[in-house]
Amino acid sequence: MSDRVELAVRELVDALRDELTPPPEPTAMVSIAEAARLLGCSRTTVYAALDGGSLASRHIGRRRLIARAELDRFAGEHER
C-alpha cells in the first residue's frame, strides 16, 4: 500500500474507533471539587449547600463525597 493510502486507512480506523468507543461511566461518588465543577459553582457554594442541608454527602474514610444522583437532584431543584 502506498503511504498516502495507509495513512488514510489509519485515520479512518482511528475515527471509527473513537466513534464506537462508549463514553466512560460516570463515577457514582464525586469529590467536593468535582461537584463544584459539575454544578458550575465554587467549592464554597457546595460547602454552603452541604452545611445548609440542601445537599447530602457521605464521609468515606477522610473524604467527603457526594453521590451523582444527589447532584442531579440538587441541580434539578436549583435550575434557573
Cβ-based neighbour number of residue 15 at 10 Å: 10
Ranges in the chain, pLDDT < 50: none
Given this model, what pLDDT does residue 16 score? Answer: 80
Q: What mean pLDDT, rounded, does the chain reach?
A: 88
Output the pLDDT for position 2.
83
* Residues spanned by the domain of 57: 25-80
- Asked whether 75 and 39 are in contact (CB, 8 A), the reply is yes
The predicted structure's pLDDT at residue 24: 65
Q: Please give the model's pTM, rounded to 2 decimal places.
A: 0.65
| Domain CATH code at residue 39 | 1.10.10
Number of domains observed in the structure of the chain? 1
71 lies in some domain: yes
Say how many CA atoms lie within 13 Å of 2 toward its Cβ: 3
Q: Is residue 35 part of a domain?
A: yes
The grid coordinates of residue 19 equal 466513534
Residue 66's Cβ-count burial label (10 Å; 0-12, 13-18, 19+) is buried
